């Protein structure tokens, strides 16, 4: 995780009412992508802070549109507002923190890193998750973790209908009620290794919750051709 020597007063700042999203993203893809970078007046624009591959911190003051912080690598991106569709989609590493709520498909296909959503996430949160971890302090909508392959989805509130439909090997932890389990998703025993993982994820997300209050869900492994001899590759 990046450590910033920059103060908010001296940080490189982009005002999206005068600077374009393209100018911002080009700067984030170049040598200026270090320390703290501030983005003000995002006004729901799409594709803010996408494709970063640098040890920097980006703070966005306000609500953002679609695909914010998509494909992120190494950077820490904090949104002081709500996010549109597909926040941190296909994230590879780093951390994305949403202080408000996120729309659909948050963290879709993300391969690594940590996505923290302090509000709610709507439908299809963590769809096709491929290795990243997602912690949602609120609730998630229907079809969350659909076809999720690796990584973990932690939900401190409730989950909507068809949780974990067609699930592969991602781990799902839900503290509240589940509207219904999707095909091949079942409740599973919470062993010590899971409590440890959950404790670490909650700590990393700076979310105060008791791991013992969560239920673990995972794949029944009836729907996809799981072969125990191949377990090492998952």
Partner 1 sequence: MCGIAGLYTKTDALRSQLGVHLAAMLEQLSDRGPDSAGVAFYRDPAPDGWCKISVHSATDEPGWGDLADALALQFGDATLTGVRATHAVFTVEGAAADVEAWLRVTRPELTLMSAGKTIEIYKEAGPPGDFVRRYELAGIEGSHALGHTRMATESRVTTEHSHPFSTGLDLCLVHNGSLSNHNRLRTALRREGIHFQTDNDSEVAAGYLTWKMAQGATLEQALESSLDDLDGFFTFAVGTADGFAVLRDPIACKPAVMAETDEWVAMASEYRAIAVLPGAEDAVSWEPVPGRVYSWGTALVA
- Please identify, among the stretches 77-85, 127-135, 188-196, 200-208, the one whose residues bind partner 1 according to the rule CB under 8 A: 77-85
Residue 16 CB, nearest approach to partner 1 (Å) = 10
**Rounded CA separation 182/166 (Å):** 7
Q: Give the contact letters, 55-74, x = binds to partner 1 (CB under 8 A), - = no.
A: -------xx-xx--------
Q: Taking CB under 8 A as the rule, does residue 219 contact partner 1?
A: no
Residue by residue, DSSP assigns the chain as -------TTTSEEEETTTS-HHHHHHHHTSTT-SEEEEEE--TT-SSTT-S-BSSEEEEEES---TTTTTT-BS-EEEEES-B-TTTTTT--SSEEEESS-B-TTTTTT--SSEEEESS-B-TTTTTT-EEEEEEESS-B-TTTTTT--EEEEEESS-B-SSBTTT--S-EEEESS-BS-B-TTEEEE---HHHHHHHHHHHHHTT----GGG-EEEEE-SSSS---GGGGGG-
Two tokens, residue 184 = 């091949």
Q: Taking CB under 8 A as the rule, does residue 144 contact partner 1?
A: no
Q: Taking CB under 8 A as the rule, does residue 85 contact partner 1?
A: yes
Residue 143 or 153: which CB sits closer to partner 1?
Answer: 143
Where in 94-123 is the site for partner 1 (CB under 8 A)?
Answer: 101, 103-104, 122-123
Two tokens, residue 207 = 């979310």
Residue 44 CB, nearest approach to partner 1 (Å) = 3
Residue 39 CB, nearest approach to partner 1 (Å) = 14
- Please identify, among the stretches 81-89, 168-176, 200-208, 225-233, the one whose residues bind partner 1 according to the rule CB under 8 A: 81-89
Q: Taking CB under 8 A as the rule, does residue 46 contact partner 1?
A: yes
Judged by CB under 8 A, the residue of 15, 32, 43, 206 near partner 1 is: 43
Where in 162-191 is the site for partner 1 (CB under 8 A)?
Answer: none
Give the residues lining the site for partner 1 (CB under 8 A): 43-46, 62-63, 65-66, 82, 84-85, 101, 103-104, 122-123, 141-142
């Amino acid at each position: 995780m990046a450590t910033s020597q920059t103060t908010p007063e001296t940080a490189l700042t982009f005002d999206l009412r005068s600077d374009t999203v393209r100018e911002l993203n080009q700067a984030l893809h170049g040598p200026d992508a270090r320390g703290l970078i501030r983005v003000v007046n995002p006004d729901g624009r799409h594709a803010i802070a996408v494709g970063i591959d640098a040890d920097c911190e980006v703070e966005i003051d306000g609500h953002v549109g679609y695909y914010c912080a998509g494909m992120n690598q190494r950077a820490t991106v904090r949104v002081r507002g709500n996010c549109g569709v597909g926040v941190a989609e296909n994230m590879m590493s780093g951390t994305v923190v949403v202080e408000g709520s996120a729309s659909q498909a948050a963290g879709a296909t993300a391969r690594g890193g940590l996505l923290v959503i302090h509000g709610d996430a709507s439908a299809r949160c963590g769809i096709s998750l491929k290795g990243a971890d997602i912690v949602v302090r609120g609730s998630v909508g229907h079809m969350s973790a659909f076809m999720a392959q690796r990584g973990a989805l932690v939900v401190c509130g409730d989950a909507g209908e068809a949780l974990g439909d067609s699930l592969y090997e991602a781990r799902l932890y839900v503290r509240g009620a589940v509207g219904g389990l999707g095909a091949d998703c079942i409740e599973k025993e919470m062993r010590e290794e899971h409590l440890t993982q959950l404790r670490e994820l909650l700590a990393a997300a700076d979310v105060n919750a008791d791991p013992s209050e969560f239920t673990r869900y995972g794949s029944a492994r009836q729907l996809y051709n799981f072969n125990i001899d191949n377990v090492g590759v998952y």
